[in-house]
Each structure stands twice: as C-alpha cells, then as structure tokens.
C-alpha cells in the first residue's frame, strides 16, 4: 500500500484526491487545506488538516498549490528526507529545497471544478531526483493514465509554454468567436462542431498540414472584408498578426 498526502485544495488537488480514492493500492493519508470546506465533500473530516505541522509520515507528499506557494509549503513539511513532489508546469524541480528526495508530478491537462476529466487520457510528466523515487512516481502514474512520460524541468517549461498557445490562447480565440456571433444574433452552438473537428483533425494531420482559410490561400479580398467587418481594434490586430504568422510559414 502506497500512502500519499495531498497539500492543496484547488482544482488539481481536487481531481487528484478523487482519483486516488478510486485506487486499491494507494491510500490517501491526509489532505492539507487552508480552507477545509473546499475538500470536506471529498474526504472525511479527520483526514483534513489545516496546519502542515499535523502531517503524518507518508510515502509521497504531493504539493498542489499555486506556484508561488510551493517553496513555503514544501519547507513546512516536518520530516527529514521525505519524498516531496510538486504539480507545477513551470517551476523547476529544485523549487523543493528541504529534501534530497524531490520530484515533479505534472498533469498536462486543463482542469475545471465543474467538468469531469478522464484521467486515463492525461499525460503525466514525471521527474525525480533519484531513480527509485522516479520508479515510485511511475508506479502511481500508470495506475491513473496510459500516457506517462519522463520529462526534464527544461522540457516541462517548454511544454507549459506550448500549452498556453494550444489551450489558453485557442480558448480565448473561441471567446472572440462567440462575441462575433452574439453581435450578429447567431447562436454560438453553430460553431461547436467546427471547434471539435479542428481538434480531431490534429489527431491525424500535423497542424501545419491541416491549415485552411483565407490566410493560407492568400485570399486578400476576404481578408480585407473580414478586417473591415471587425470594429473591435484588438480583434482586428489579432486577425492581422495571426494572418501574417500563417503566411510567414
């Protein structure tokens, strides 16, 4: 039985807790939450602690707090040589300083509290300061997911940057698309099959080969008409810049 304690109560902690509770060979030891209400519907009252000093020993401590709090939370763990990992896409492994047994357990996915996520499809990006601890992380991750990768801190930072482009930024372009629909009394639903197909197409085609539209065709008359139709200066600027970027490839 592998014992794990979770430090954090946000979206990542929430999904981790739910999935640990489903496993036979993993025991959720404790959950550290500054706001116990945020996890009280998931775990029993006596498993929740509001002070890190109340932690019991565990095989693994997973820190799932905001990037800026990782160091402070890690430093407060009251055991010498505990195995401590964080779940950040951007912080280096060495932001954990109070142990030689450190690692990263980064789940490359977008989490919302109100949307279930299929853990088995999530890529787990693992890193650890020694081989044995890496193997423990791997043993845990393969219970959750079929996609487990060994990823260095440098690679992870690149993945996180790429993820901002393919998730945060694409999502925002959909927000802009929704605004354009609203302004013209068109239901945004009409665009949803296209949005899904755009993602599915990339499963089988490299995105460069999947590119369509007026920019790649060099259809200047449509580009001009679109720019004319855009009243919002920032939408216009985004249209021009991405069109230029598509045409530069």
Residues 59-78 that bind its own copies (CB under 8 A): 67-68
Q: How far is CA 144 from CA 26, 27, 31, 138, 236, in A?
A: 11, 14, 19, 10, 43
Residue 204 Cβ, how far from its own copies at the closest point, in Å?
Answer: 6
Residues 19-48 that bind its own copies (CB under 8 A): none
Nearer to its own copies, 50 or 112 (CB): 112
Residue 144 Cβ, how far from its own copies at the closest point, in Å?
Answer: 13
d(CA 76, CA 123): 29
Of 131, 92, 124, nearest to 109 (Cα)?
A: 124
Size of the site for its own copies (CB under 8 A): 93
Question: What are the two backbone dihedrals, phi and then psi, of residue 192, each rounded to the nearest 5 degrees?
Answer: -65, -40
Asked if 13 interacts with its own copies (CB under 8 A), we say no
Unique residue bearing structure tokens 């990339």: 202
Asked if 186 interacts with its own copies (CB under 8 A), we say yes
d(CA 105, CA 83): 12
Residues 149-178 that bind its own copies (CB under 8 A): 149, 151, 154-155, 157-159, 161-178
Asked if 130 interacts with its own copies (CB under 8 A), we say no
Residues 88-127 that bind its own copies (CB under 8 A): 90, 108-112, 114-115, 117, 121-123, 125
Return the SS3 of 107. Answer: strand
């Amino acid at each position: 039985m592998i014992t794990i304690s979770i430090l954090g109560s946000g979206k990542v902690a929430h999904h981790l807790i739910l999935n640990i509770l489903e496993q036979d060979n993993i025991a959720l030891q404790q959950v550290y939450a500054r706001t116990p209400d945020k996890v009280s519907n998931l775990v029993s009252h006596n498993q929740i602690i509001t002070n890190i000093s109340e932690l019991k020993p565990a095989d693994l401590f997973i820190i799932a707090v905001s990037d800026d709090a990782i160091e402070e939370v890690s430093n407060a763990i009251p055991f010498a040589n505990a195995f401590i990992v964080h779940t950040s896409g951007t912080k280096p492994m060495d932001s954990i300083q109070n142990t030689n047994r450190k690692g990263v357990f980064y789940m490359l996915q977008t989490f919302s509290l109100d949307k279930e996520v299929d853990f088995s499809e999530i890529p787990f990006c693992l890193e650890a300061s020694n081989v044995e601890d890496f193997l423990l992380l791997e043993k845990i991750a393969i219970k959750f997911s079929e996609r487990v990768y060994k990823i260095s801190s440098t690679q992870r930072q690149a993945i996180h940057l790429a993820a901002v482009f393919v998730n945060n930024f694409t999502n925002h372009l959909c927000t802009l698309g929704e605004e354009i629909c609203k302004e013209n009394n068109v239901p945004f639903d009409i665009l949803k099959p296209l949005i899904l197909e755009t993602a599915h197409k990339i499963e089988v085609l490299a995105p460069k080969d999947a590119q369509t539209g007026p920019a790649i065709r060099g259809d200047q008359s449509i580009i001009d008409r679109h720019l004319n139709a855009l009243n919002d200066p920032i939408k216009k600027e985004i249209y021009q810049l991405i069109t230029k970027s598509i045409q530069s490839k």
